[in-house]
Amino acid sequence: MPEPRSDVVRLSTGIRGLDGLLAGGIPEGFMVALVGMPGTGKTVACIHFAWAGLSAGESAIYVTTEESRESVIRQAAQFGMGFDRASREGRLIVVDALMRKEDEWSLKDVSVEEMLDRVIAAKRSLGRSARRLVIDSMSAFWLSAPVKAREDSYSVKRILSKWGLTIYVTSQYAITTGSAFGWGVEHVADGIIHFRRGLGGRRMMHCPGGD
């Protein structure tokens, strides 16, 4: 197996053991798919990834489609991660696609197009310090039309690749079958981290893309 390239800039996942498996973290500019059934730790991994950047002085963008903005902030607080403070300081923008509030960083319609508009607006607002983006999860955008999964995923990667972001994108697998709601994110991601339930706790399988 070839050694990882030493000239590749990598961003920490915020999880020491996972960084070790990934030769130091996620290659900058990658879009990584976090896939698995509900309750296997995908959102927790997303929170750690965003916090790794915030704690290093970066800014971050976090899109939440299945939980409210307040829920994400509360979950981060349980790990001692100050999302609330970072948000008040203008270093973290949490785009809420669930509650449909009347504010700048909420989606009025759960569509990929509106989500991309808000992400680009957030990137422009935060500037170059925003290096990380989380979209948790993409599955919400194609619940009524799974056939659109691959098309939407290509659109997200093609458009956001121009904005200097390293991206975590989650995708839900069905509890009953353990399979995806339409194969989309996996086909376009540069790497895949697969979360599975294991006896006695959670375990992760990873399939990072090549350098």
Residue 97, pLDDT above cutoff 50: yes
| Reported confidence tier of residue 10, pLDDT bands at 50, 70, 90 | very high
Overall size of the chain counted in residues: 211
| Reported confidence tier of residue 203, pLDDT bands at 50, 70, 90 | low
Residue 175, pLDDT above cutoff 90: no
pLDDT the model gives residue 174: 60
pTM: 0.90
Distances 204 to 8, 68, 208 between C-alpha atoms, Å: 24, 26, 12
Q: How far is 73 from 206, CA to CA, in rounded Å?
A: 27
Q: How far is 94 from 97, CA to CA, in rounded Å?
A: 10
156 contacts 117 by C-beta, under 8 angstroms: no
Who contacts 141 (Cβ-Cβ below 8 Å, separation ≥6)? 65, 110, 111, 112, 115, 148, 152
pLDDT the model gives residue 183: 61
- Mean residue pLDDT across the chain: 88
Distances 104 to 30, 119, 153 between C-alpha atoms, Å: 27, 11, 24
